[in-house]
Amino acid sequence: MTTPPQTFQQKVYALAKQIPKGKVATYGQLAKMAGSPGASRAVGMCMKNNPDAKTIPCHRVVSSTGALTGYAFGGTSVKKEKLIKEGVAFSGDKANLTLSQWQSN
């Protein structure tokens, strides 16, 4: 019996679950890893519609500049608070991608 292929959304959520505390990934990075480079807006929609914020850490996904572009579970101030508590480095209001971007294997 073969397993049906994962949908784009399932791939994105599985990837987001792998981002460790203290690290962030960009929308574009997850899109590329999910096999759809250029689908960063679709990743954003996945994060916005996250069905389980306790197990899918959508707060760890940021823009390509490190900007916190949205957070459906309390706004960007809550997102920033969570990231700071986890040890993500910031430069002003942006996550410092040089120090905190997740490098997947």
| Residue 3: pLDDT over 80 | no
Task: Kindly indicate the confidence band of residue 2, based on its pLDDT and cuts at 50, 70 and 90.
Answer: confident
The 3-state DSSP class for residue 101 equals strand
Q: What is the full DSSP assignment across 10-30? A: HHHHHHHHHPPTT-BEEHHHH
Q: Which residues have CB under 8 Å from 47's CB, separation 6+?
A: 12, 16, 27, 58, 61, 70, 72
| Residue 86: pLDDT over 90 | yes
Domain-by-domain residue ranges, the chain? 8-100
Q: Which residue has the tokens 């807006």?
A: 41
**Catalytic sites, residue numbers:** 58
Q: Give this prediction's pTM.
A: 0.93
* CATH number of the structural domain 8-100: 1.10.10.10
Q: Which residue has the tokens 């500049």?
A: 65
